[in-house]
Structure formats: C-alpha cells, structure tokens
A and B are shown apart, each in its own frame.
Chain A
Amino acid sequence: MKVPGAYYLAVAAAMFCIGAIGLLVRRNALIMFMCVELMLNAVNLTFVTFARMLDDIGGQVFVFFTLVVAAAEVVVGLALIVSIFRRRQGATADDVSLLRG
C-alpha cells in the first residue's frame, strides 16, 4: 500500500521549520550552516514528492540541480567560515557583527 504524498509533504514541512528554527536559535556558524542544509533537503523531498504526485520527471531533474548548487554553496561557505575562524578564535556568529575585518 502506497503512502500518500501528503505525508511526505508534512515531513518535509516539519524538517524545513526545524531547520529555520535552528538557523534563528543557534549561534555557531557551522551549525547554522547545517541547518541551511536541512532546509535544502526538505525542499528536495518536496520536489521528489511532487514529481511522483504529478507524474513529472522535471521535479527530479530539479533536485539534481539543487544538489549541485548545494555542493557549491557548501564549498564556498566553509571556505568563508575557515577564513573567519582563522582570524579570531570565536565560533559564534556574533563575533563577526562588524563590517570591517
């Protein structure tokens, strides 16, 4: 018996909201980044669910592009975090509240 698509969508919505809460609550830059990954994954799950519900392969192809963009985003973001942490020992986002270095 097939699980209806609405249940997958509910799980994806819950994952997205947990990621959003984490992004707002946590102050460690790395964990904030992981929360962004969580939100991206929730959206991917939504895409795949709609690809099945509407019977359209375009949703799955779109997830492929999302994966590529997420990989590029992680590479650049982690390089930014590394260069920030190298300059100051703090691990929180509050340490980089100034526009100048």
Chain B
Amino acid sequence: MEWAVFVVFAIGALGGAGGVVMARKPVHAAMALVLTLFSVAVFFVMQGAHFLAAVQVIVYAGAIVVLFLFVIMLLGIDQEDILDEPLPAQRPLAMAVGVALFAGLVVLGRILEPTGATADRGSATQGEVSNVERVARSLFTDFLWPFEITSALLVIAVVGAVVLARRVGPSTQSDQLEVGADPGSDEGPAALLEHEA
C-alpha cells in the first residue's frame, strides 16, 4: 500500500517537475509546480513530518504559487516562450550538465554513509509525542535565536518588495529626467489612478 502511494506520487512529483521545465506558457508551468509541491507534501506525511506537510501546502501551494499567478496575470506576460535559441550548444550542454549532476549525486549517495551518531536534539519518530510538539520543542529551545532572526528576514523582505515594486523610485527617476516630465505629476497611488483613468 505504501509502495503504491510512493510510486504514484513519485510519478506526480517528477512529472510535475518535467511540466515546469517543458511548459510553453507560464500558467501551465505554475500548475505543474502545484502538482510537484503537493506530491512533496505527501512524501512529508509518509515520513512522519506532519507539521511540514501542512506548512508546505499552505505556504508553497497556497501563497507562493498564488503570488506567481498574480504576477503572471497582472503583467499580462502569458505569451508563449520564444523557442529559438541564440546559443546553439546551450540545450545539449544543459542536458549533459543535468545528467552529470544526477550521476554525481547518485555516486555520492553510494559512497557516503551516514555516521549514525545519536541526535541530542531529540528523536524524529520515537516516543509518544506528536510531530508538531517535537518541532516546536526543538524550534523554541535549540533554534530560538535563528527563529528570531527569520522574523527580521521576513520584515526586510517585505520592505524590499515594497521599495522595488513602487512606481516612483530610483529606477524610474532617470526616465522622468529623460522625457523631462514634471516630477510632481506622478507621485502616489492617487496620481497613478488618475493617470490611468
């Protein structure tokens, strides 16, 4: 039974990955990405990482793919990709690099052996405690300081996104100087709405 689930979702994960690479339209690639992400979430459940499976579905399939779709729809860039390649050797070379990478990973996995040293952070599967409690215990004791730093990272990312996506910024000032536009005429969302109306 578990083997059947594994095979089905392994095909789903790899098929979705191939779909991302081969899809002509970005929307189709995003849908294939959802398939892969969901298959990985199923793998997480099968290995006892229930908390991460939930987070995977909520954050990845929920938030990140929706963000991708927002960008695709908002920018209207859903045209098909240009298929002619300016560098003729790029595709075979990329394939060779990918296959070499896979072979290298397999060889590494064959050579290297896990040491089997006992973990001092707590077991992942043994005992009565649920998976969520294990992750929480480790996160708020051993990894408390990194956890606090991730909050700073998220705030920095939000500020960076706002600065980058704002229409009036360092990136557009050169435009305004070139066309000699009035710098006060294009400020703020209200002026933007008037301009587009």
- A interface residues with partner B (beta carbon < 8 Å): 1-3, 6-11, 13-22, 24-28, 30-31, 33-35, 37-38, 41, 44-45, 48-61, 63-65, 67-76, 78-83, 85-87, 91-92, 94, 101
Contact = CB atoms under 8 A, between A and B. Distances in A.
A97 to B, nearest CB: 11
Contact of B67 (A16, A24, A75, A86): A75
Question: Which interface class (under 10, 10 to 19, 20 to 34, 35 or more) fits B?
Answer: 35 or more
Contact of A79 (B52, B82, B161): B161
A30 B158 contact: no
Contacts of A81: 71
A31 B49 contact: no
Contacts of A74: 64, 67-68
B177 interface: no
Contacts of B161: 75-76, 78-79
A55 B101 contact: no
B81 interface: yes
B43 A52 contact: no
Interface in B101-116: 101-102, 105-106, 109, 114, 116
